[in-house]
A and B are shown apart, each in its own frame.
Chain A
Amino acid sequence: PGSGPKSLREMPHPLATSSSEEMGPALTPSPDLLLPRSIADKDLSLPNGTPVDTSSPASSSSLLNRLQLDDDLDGETRDLFVTVDDPKKHVCTMETYITYRVTTKTTRAEFDLPEYSVRRRYQDFDWLRNKLEESQPTHLIPPLPEKFVVKGVVDRFSEEFVETRRKALDKFLKRITDHPVLSFNEHFNVFLTAKDLNAYKKQGMALLSKMGESVKYVTGGYKLRSRPLEFAAIGEYLDTFSLKLGTIDRIAQRIIKEQLEYLVELREYGPVYSTWGGLEVELSEPLEGVSACIGNCCTALEELSEDMTEDFLPVLREYILYSESMKNVLKKRDQVQAEYEAKLEAVALKKEDRPKVPTDVEKCQDRVECFNADLKADMERWQNNKRQDFRQLLMGMADKNIQYYEKCLTAWESIIPLLQDKPETK
């Protein structure tokens, strides 16, 4: 597909297991990111200050991350747009399920056509996420809405549920689209373009079984002595962050609950004015007016609670999942570092006099450095997106409350003239 420098493309993935050269889809850096102007503009050094050795293939990943264009891409510099919409119910003999239309518009060379429109179901998104986690282990993969819903409690086919899910799936793909590395992942490309995704999935599985070993690089079984300060700080931040989000989630739920109980009482309150109106002559219209007014406030309140349930709570929960994902990535990083340190120690214990460090330990070191760089870059991007997302979310919450009060205000203001009206003037 691409037309970048051949040498780079032929390099094995820095984080791939050293034994396999013919492994599956490899990270293909975008040729765009290798434009001379970007290299010249950026300060080329690893996070810890050591200058980047651009000749080393192993550090290409970190280099590319350093060279990424500014995150806040405006419309003009964006070259990939993905949308999820148009949910449809499919009833088959075996099962009933929903598919969503995934539309792609792009100018990227990796895509054969400028536009694609495919139908995908939740399983397909789940498959994509797993594939991304496998193939991009150093990166934070955005979360998916919860897979399982308790049958009988939530109606999987209700409009509200489907719409909430659609929004979350749309967000999921947009986050991948915005990611300078993940958006070029081959599985992502296939997900967006393939007519028959199932065939591709099967092919992938076959390839795996042919290889006879998992693509997973994490060796496991190593324990990290101490997390470096900067990652410990990230870990602590995430812990507190998800704690606070959990609290906010509980508060929001409590508010919705109280609002619904308030609504129940209001629904009884309004009609009593109407009953009273039936007893009176001159006061009949004013009392009916008050009754109708309270009815309008009930409607407005119902809308507010619905909005909060459908728009606010799911996003909060999504971010809690997101922090959990990030914490897992941190743990994987710890694993990689632990493996490196263990191997380093093993070498140091050998009394032999070696001229240089063996290559597999060197490879471990590279892996650690790449992982650290990827993680920090992702964390920074995540922080920025998080700030924007929450800004939007909380402003939205404020907006909905303002709208609620405005609706009530209109209702009460409109009945003042009715209340003040003298029967003779009619």
Chain B
Amino acid sequence: MEDCLAKKMEITVSEAEKRTGRNAMNMQETYTAYLIETRAVESQSEGQCAPVDSLWRRYSEFELLRNYLSVTYPHIVVPPLPEKRADFVWHKLSADNMDPDFVERRRIGLENFLLRVASHPVLCQDKIFYSFLTQEGGWKEMVNETGFQLKADSRLKALNATFRVKNPDKRFTELKHYSDELQSVISHLLRVRARVADRLYGVYKVHGNYGRVFSEWSAIEKEMGDGLQSAGHHMDVYAASIDDILEEEEHYADQLKEYLFYAEALRAVCRKHELMQYDLEMAAQDLTSKKQQCEELATGTVRTFSLKGMTSKLFGQETPEQREAKLKVLEEQIQEGEEQLKSKNLEGRDFVKSAWADIERFKEQKNHDLKEALISYAVMQISMCKKGIQVWTNAKECFSKM
């Protein structure tokens, strides 16, 4: 992927800053701004670093960018943004958007989003995306000027509305089903993981109480005192160790969350196909009925029941001139309809082709990323076990000296 922007440009979201300003309703608000830094990748031989460009963006601008990309490239599984509000929290984690840990994790998530877009063969070439990274002022206006909101199909927003599609591409139907199941299973996993984290936290922290009581007990002992005291210290270390362990695990949760949201993006592509297929089928149906009307007018036979037919029977027939005019209009419409149907068909097939290509790309990426995530999770668990063995071995040694 030599054309990929990510290869030509280093992109980081390096800082987050609290800002206050006035919103659209002229009310004071507090928000966080993120610093995007970009630098052209120079050839290694020069050994020189290109200058860093930077600009500040807030979350809502990222949202605008993503909306634009989703509408403009409906056949692409567009990378998701990190969550808007903290979800799947366990008790120690804050659900507050201003909480520094949340902001930090969001910063990483936003950087990840930009890198995903920049390494996508199609998306990375988008001008609006490039301007997002490089042009501070007037970017919002530029996006709105593309008029992408008009292109947006409001029906896509109605997630659960069903359309009776007679001949969808089976692969998309299966894929939509898969994305629903994936969303469900990852949500469940994240919820239970949060509860597991909560409980594990409790187990570790209670051990801290040993530290205090061993210390108090050691005060009344002679030979046992030192051993107890130092063992108590190790219990304190044990209790404190859980904070770092669980913080690291949040990164794993974030990786899972990304694919939870990716499942939504996948579903959106399937829905788009459904809608296109629906429109196509509706257009074909409309064309067929117009052709029938035409035939009926021409031959004078009424094959199907129609109100017009009935009224004309009841209130008298049309004049030959009227009939002629109507036929002409219909014939024009039929011609238009046939052309539209042709182009819709073509559109539909192009969509299926390019969407499926991106879906294959996405599947590979997903398998690779999730495997990596599972490996890093296993590594985290291994590290936690080793720490546990270390602490208890130290404590055992202290006890042996009692």
Contact (A395, B189) CB under 8 Å given A251-B213, A254-B206, A261-B199:
no
Interface-located stretch among A9-17, A348-356, A414-422: A414-422
Interface-located stretch among B63-71, B115-123, B380-388: B380-388
In the complex, whether B231 has a CB less than 8 A from a CB of chain A is yes
Contacts of A287 in B (CB 8 A): 374
In the complex, whether A110 has a CB less than 8 A from a CB of chain B is no
Are the CB atoms of B393 and A387 closer together than 8 Å? no
Interface-located stretch among A49-57, A96-104, A139-147, A401-409: A401-409
Contact (A265, B192) CB under 8 Å given A290-B378, A395-B396:
yes
Interface-located stretch among B49-57, B157-165, B216-224, B279-287: B216-224
Q: In chain B, what residue has the closest Cβ to A414?
A: B378
Q: In chain A, what residue has the closest Cβ to B210?
A: A251
Residues 235-249 of chain A: 1 if any B CB is under 8 Å from the residue's CB, otherwise 0? 001001100100110
In the complex, whether A394 has a CB less than 8 A from a CB of chain B is yes
Are the CB atoms of A258 and B202 closer together than 8 Å? yes
Are the CB atoms of A405 and B199 closer together than 8 Å? no
In the complex, whether A111 has a CB less than 8 A from a CB of chain B is no
Q: In chain B, what residue has the closest Cβ to A251?
A: B209
Cα–Cα distance between A287 and B392 once the two chains are bound (Å): 31
* Complex interface residues of chain B between 362 and 402 (CB less than 8 A to chain A): 367, 370-371, 374-375, 377-379, 381-382, 385-386, 388-389, 392-393, 395-396, 399-400, 402
Are the CB atoms of B199 and A248 closer together than 8 Å? no
- Distance (Å) between the CB of B39 and the closest chain A CB? 33
Contacts of B217 in A (CB 8 A): 240-241, 244, 248
Contacts of B375 in A (CB 8 A): 416, 419-420
Q: In chain A, what residue has the closest Cβ to B401?
A: A391
* Complex interface residues of chain A between 336 and 374 (CB less than 8 A to chain B): none
Contacts of B200 in A (CB 8 A): 262
- Distance (Å) between the CB of A124 and the closest chain B CB? 35
Contact (A261, B202) CB under 8 Å given A282-B367, A412-B385:
yes
In the complex, whether B203 has a CB less than 8 A from a CB of chain A is yes
Are the CB atoms of B206 and A258 closer together than 8 Å? yes
Are the CB atoms of B370 and A283 closer together than 8 Å? yes
Query: SS class of chain A's interface: helix, strand, loop or mixed?
Result: helix
In the complex, whether B140 has a CB less than 8 A from a CB of chain A is no
Contacts of A299 in B (CB 8 A): none
Q: In chain B, what residue has the closest Cβ to A388?
A: B402
Interface-located stretch among B29-37, B94-102, B144-152, B177-185: B177-185
Interface-located stretch among A130-138, A206-214, A272-280: A272-280
In the complex, whether B291 has a CB less than 8 A from a CB of chain A is no
Neighbour of A399 across the interface among B178, B210, B381, B396, CB < 8 A: B396
- Distance (Å) between the CB of A62 and the closest chain B CB? 24
Are the CB atoms of B392 and A405 closer together than 8 Å? yes
In the complex, whether B207 has a CB less than 8 A from a CB of chain A is yes
- Distance (Å) between the CB of A269 and the closest chain B CB? 5
Cα–Cα distance between A282 and B350 once the two chains are bound (Å): 28
Which of A237, A279, A419 lies at the interface centre, i.e. has the most chain B CB atoms within 10 A of its CB? A419
In the complex, whether A255 has a CB less than 8 A from a CB of chain B is yes
Contact (A237, B220) CB under 8 Å given A265-B196, A394-B402:
yes
Cα–Cα distance between A399 and B207 once the two chains are bound (Å): 16
Are the CB atoms of B209 and A401 closer together than 8 Å? no
Contacts of B389 in A (CB 8 A): 402, 405-406, 409
Are the CB atoms of B396 and A398 closer together than 8 Å? yes
Are the CB atoms of A272 and B385 closer together than 8 Å? no
Contact (A279, B207) CB under 8 Å given A237-B220, A394-B402:
no
Neighbour of A241 across the interface among B181, B198, B220, B370, CB < 8 A: B220
In the complex, whether B342 has a CB less than 8 A from a CB of chain A is no
In the complex, whether A20 has a CB less than 8 A from a CB of chain B is no
Are the CB atoms of B224 and A401 closer together than 8 Å? no
Neighbour of A266 across the interface among B196, B224, B371, B395, CB < 8 A: B196
Contacts of B58 in A (CB 8 A): none
Q: In chain B, what residue has the closest Cβ to A282?
A: B367
Cα–Cα distance between A265 and B193 once the two chains are bound (Å): 8
Q: In chain B, what residue has the closest Cβ to A245?
A: B217
Contact (A258, B203) CB under 8 Å given A248-B213, A251-B209, A408-B385:
yes
Cα–Cα distance between A150 and B231 once the two chains are bound (Å): 36
Are the CB atoms of A409 and B199 closer together than 8 Å? no
Q: In chain B, what residue has the closest Cβ to A392?
A: B399
Cα–Cα distance between A404 and B385 once the two chains are bound (Å): 9
Contacts of B367 in A (CB 8 A): 280, 282-283
Are the CB atoms of B220 and A402 closer together than 8 Å? no
Cα–Cα distance between A275 and B189 once the two chains are bound (Å): 10
In the complex, whether A295 has a CB less than 8 A from a CB of chain B is no
Cα–Cα distance between A399 and B395 once the two chains are bound (Å): 10
- Distance (Å) between the CB of B381 and the closest chain A CB? 5
Contacts of A272 in B (CB 8 A): 185, 188-189, 192
Contacts of B209 in A (CB 8 A): 247, 251, 254
Task: List, sorted by A's number, 12 A–B pairs whose CB atoms are closer than 8 Å.
Answer: A255-B206, A258-B202, A262-B203, A264-B199, A265-B199, A279-B181, A387-B223, A390-B224, A401-B392, A402-B396, A405-B385, A412-B382
Supply 6 further A-B pairs (C-beta < 8 A) apart from A265-B195, A275-B188.
A251-B206, A261-B199, A266-B196, A391-B400, A394-B231, A409-B386
List the 9 closest A-B pairs by CB distance, nearest first: A398-B396, A262-B199, A409-B385, A405-B388, A394-B399, A244-B217, A401-B392, A258-B202, A391-B402
